[in-house]
Amino acid sequence: MKILVTGGTGYIGSHACVELLTAGHAVVIVDNLSNSSPRVLERIAQITGRQPAFHELDVRDRAALDRIFDAGKFDAIIHFAGVKAVAESVADPLKYYSNNVYGSLTLFEAAARHDVTRVVFSSSATVYGETARSPIREDAATAPANPYGRTKLIVEQQLGDLCAAGSEWRVAALRYFNPVGAHPSGIIGEAPQGVPNNLMPYVCQVAAGRLSELSVFGHDYPTPDGTAIRDYIHVVDLARGHLKALEYLERTRGMHVINLGTGRGTSVLDMLGTFERVNALRIPHRFTARRPGDTTETYADAARAAQFLGWRTELTLADMCRDAWRWQQANPAGYV
């Protein structure tokens, strides 16, 4: 298939491109490089032996999108492009509505004009909000607690309405839990700008001596070790889920909302202990107050992904920790 990958130079997109190219698909990436480096393209080629086509563009740019669609028919779109920092979305909601909602709308309009009606969309477990009980099934109530989560839900609703209006649309909205880790080669990985917001990249930077210690937010949660529980998923497993979703859309029409998670909860201390053990390192850390808005435990019910897509995670927490650290060591300052 020939796949348009928006946001394909980003963290998850780059891993998905590796899997797509390895499976023999043709890949065209569009990305405005607002949160990624063009060096990713050479790295993808280093792993796969094939460099994807690339166009630097913003998905809000209708004319630029039309030029891409005019140049050749796509079988499907995987739409990763978007902004994703929860705290920033609270401070600057318009940036989120513009990139995520308006960007998606512009993309889907261009797709519709060019009869491309197969879409895999990067949604997020953030759409479930703070009160959902884990394991969270896809039919749990949605109640996003921040603008970022609301933009993801709005795009899901756009896609649901499109599917309801026209039987030609085939959409998988994949609700990711907590993607971590890196390609096992250490050649591509997560390269956050500034101080990381998420646990694994933070741990890696402490391990590398770039940050002095990890703050563990909350040691008084009602969990076995008192720290918060999340569903960490290896980014390579997550990337493979997108291929499975594309295959599923070959067979099925309409709108499908599917969790991508392991179905298992991991506490902050489990993660830290595993990272220290597999990498033979000590991570200085101290316990601080809970962060407002953080849930006690959030993990997926992964049954629908297994049933619909025939997909399950294969990589372990140890793989996530080992691969994240391999990437960090080989690329201490990211893609420079």
Ligand X SMILES: NC(=O)c1ccc[n+]([C@@H]2O[C@H](COP(=O)([O-])OP(=O)(O)OC[C@H]3O[C@@H](n4cnc5c(N)ncnc54)[C@H](O)[C@@H]3O)[C@@H](O)[C@H]2O)c1
Residue 202 sits in the site that holds ligand X (CB under 6 A):
no
State the nearest-atom distance from the C-beta of 25 to ligand X, in Å: 19
- Which residues, other chains included, contact 329 with Cβ-Cβ below 8 Å and sequence gap of 6+? 186, 208
Residues 177-196 that bind ligand X (CB under 6 A): 179
Residues 72-91 that bind ligand X (CB under 6 A): 80-84
Q: Taking contact as CB under 6 A, which single stretch among the options 53-61, 246-254, 261-269, 308-316 is the one that binds ligand X?
A: 53-61
Select from 89, 104, 117, 122 the one that contacts ligand X (CB under 6 A).
122
Of 148, 176, 202, 299, the catalytic one is 148
Residue 64 sits in the site that holds ligand X (CB under 6 A):
no
Residue 128 sits in the site that holds ligand X (CB under 6 A):
no
Size of residue set near ligand X by CB under 6 A: 26
Distance CA 91, CA 278 (A): 38
Residue 299 sits in the site that holds ligand X (CB under 6 A):
no
State the nearest-atom distance from the C-beta of 31 to ligand X, in Å: 4
From residue 71, give the alpha-carbon distance in Å to each of 17, 65, 114, 117, 258. 20, 10, 11, 17, 32
Burial class for 303, CB neighbours closer than 10 Å (0-12, 13-18, 19+): middle
Residue 157 sits in the site that holds ligand X (CB under 6 A):
no
Going by C-alpha positions, the residue among 72, 66, 120, 127 that lies closest to residue 239 is 120
Clarify whether 148 is annotated catalytic: yes
Q: Is the Cα torsion angle 178, 334, 206, 315 positive or negative in sign?
A: positive
Distance CA 11, CA 8 (A): 8
Residue 33 sits in the site that holds ligand X (CB under 6 A):
yes
State the nearest-atom distance from the C-beta of 15 to ligand X, in Å: 8
Going by C-alpha positions, the residue among 16, 144, 26, 30 that lies closest to residue 82 is 30
Degrees to nearest 5, angle at CA 23 with 18 and 28: 55
State the nearest-atom distance from the C-beta of 39 to ligand X, in Å: 12
Residue pair 162/171 in contact (Cβ under 8 Å)? The answer is: yes
Contact residues: ligand X, CB under 6 A: 7, 9-13, 31-36, 58-60, 80-84, 99, 103, 122, 124, 176, 179
Positions marked catalytic = 148
